[in-house]
Structure 1
């Protein structure tokens, strides 16, 4: 949701981050003792008989048992879907149905002018998928504004995750309008901090205006990197904090607490570009732009990171 204010003047910048990569932060491998489980500590989820006490492995396997990206049936058969529901509710507090319905409707109908303005940028980024990516994961898929950019990619399978179940009807409608066959699109209620897919299972991950709202940005990015195959790419668009000392930053600081309440946890002052650079991708092509239809959710970073 956007709480409108006088927008800043439009500006575009470019930053190349190919050579200055930081190592990913280390995480505990004893995930059984974490309140929110870490992303990478368990073996790749294929048909191997590994014993694991980590509940996260069980609910990920259960959540993917009948998906476009299936696991070995022998692994999935002993797992309970309630495990995944528990972690979902722990990471993101349950919201009342009226709020979920309202917010889904707002995103489906209230972002059209913004989507029109950013379309040229998205068209260029999504062109990277053509002929290269058959399995695509979109985190925070929302109402599916990006699905139209997948049109014409024959054989592509798209897996969309979002913590708001009410987004599904809008995302499925967007997939239909984009000409994506029903059997090639799957929606799963999930959070970015625990993506219900095995390691190295997708060719590309897409996330636009989603890291502002996740509970843990770094954990979500580690999950993005985990599910990407070697050489896979991550397409992103995220709004970030304005420069210190500017009028826009003052507005963001004042409105940030309210924004988190009314816009499903959206933060106005995160430095998401830095988080992406520090995740440890082999290369990050990151650009910065401001959009007149985005009001105070400016500036925005966009680009492609490579696994």
Structure 2
């Protein structure tokens, strides 16, 4: 006890130590405040940037590939013997895929970021050939309370699996909600060949893209997760697009 009193008296008399403690305490408080601001405002800022900047640029580069990928949606409707398709879009974002869906399609838009909803509404007005159901605020890893088993004809993920917390869990949910014979459409940026300089670059920038890009991973081997998910048939191809390697394809339940 005597030692503690001596230590406390020394601490009170030591200006340098007091300064350091004040600095450390102030830094911790500042980090706490910044963390709270980040959690509140980041989803809004990210949604805005996606709508105004990132999505328009991405769509110009991917429109041709998306049109090709989605061109067999009418065949899925015939195979399942339905007049109008039902599509669950996981990570719907601003709704840039609506333009590719056949007339009469019912879309169930799902995303964990509610800030996308206002921009989604704008895309609904432009794409009035599809019926967009109310926004579902939910993570793709667990949709049981929002989407019933075997309830949709197709599931779509574009540039989404790169940022989910558990890829295997999302794919398990995709299989659960798909009807037998339904299709999963995916377009994702993925890891390149291991051992190359570009693979090293992807690993180097991933910590930055995770922080600034809503948990986006540049180095995920998503094709492996899809292969082990247990789909009846998987078809995909990869292509280089600037600093990204794009995985594009379908998986049939």
TM range (shorter): 0.7 to 0.9
Report the structure, 1 or 2, having the larger helix content: 2
Following superposition, the deviation at residue 222 of structure 1 comes to 0.3
- Unmatched tracts of structure 1, length 5 or more: 1-93
TM-score norm. by structure 1 comes to: 0.64
Matched residues in 2 for 1:175 and 1:194: separation?
26
Matched residues in 1 for 2:39 and 2:74: separation?
39
Does residue 125 (structure 1) correspond to residue 88 (structure 2)? The answer is no
Residue in 1 that maps onto 2:32: none
Following superposition, the deviation at residue 101 of structure 1 comes to 1.0
Residue in 2 that maps onto 1:281: 231
SS in 2 for 1:300: strand
Residue in 2 that maps onto 1:58: none
Matched residues in 1 for 2:123 and 2:188: separation?
21
Residue in 1 that maps onto 2:121: 172
Matched residues in 2 for 1:97 and 1:166: separation?
11
SS in 2 for 1:110: helix
Answer yes or no: is the 8 Å Cα contact 1:130–1:153 preserved in 2. Answer: no
Residue in 2 that maps onto 1:300: 246
Matched residues in 2 for 1:180 and 1:164: separation?
25
Answer yes or no: is the 8 Å Cα contact 1:240–1:270 preserved in 2. Answer: yes
Following superposition, the deviation at residue 163 of structure 1 comes to 0.6
Residue in 1 that maps onto 2:88: 137
Aligned 1:135-284 pairs, distance under 5 A? 135-150=86-101, 152-154=102-104, 156-180=105-129, 184-195=132-143, 196-284=146-234
- Unmatched tracts of structure 2, length 5 or more: 1-36, 78-83
Following superposition, the deviation at residue 286 of structure 1 comes to 0.9
Answer yes or no: is the 8 Å Cα contact 1:175–1:185 preserved in 2. Answer: no
SS in 1 for 2:114: coil
Matched residues in 1 for 2:43 and 2:250: separation?
30
TM-score norm. by structure 2 comes to: 0.78
Q: After TM superposition, which residue ranges in structure 1, 4 or more long, deviate above 3 angstroms?
A: none
Residue in 2 that maps onto 1:96: 39
Q: CA RMSD in A?
A: 1.9
Per-residue displacement from partner, 1:47-103 (whole Å, max 9, x unpaired)?
xxxxxxxxxxxxxxxxxxxxxxxxxxxxxxxxxxxxxxxxxxxxxxx9633211110
Matched residues in 2 for 1:286 and 1:120: separation?
16
SS in 1 for 2:194: coil
Matched residues in 1 for 2:86 and 2:52: separation?
28
Q: Who wins on radius of gyration, i.e. which is larger?
A: 2
SS in 2 for 1:121: helix
- Distance change in 2, residues 1:285/1:160 (3 Å): same
Following superposition, the deviation at residue 172 of structure 1 comes to 1.8
Matched residues in 1 for 2:132 and 2:53: separation?
27
Matched residues in 2 for 1:287 and 1:180: separation?
29
Following superposition, the deviation at residue 186 of structure 1 comes to 2.4
Matched residues in 2 for 1:207 and 1:124: separation?
15
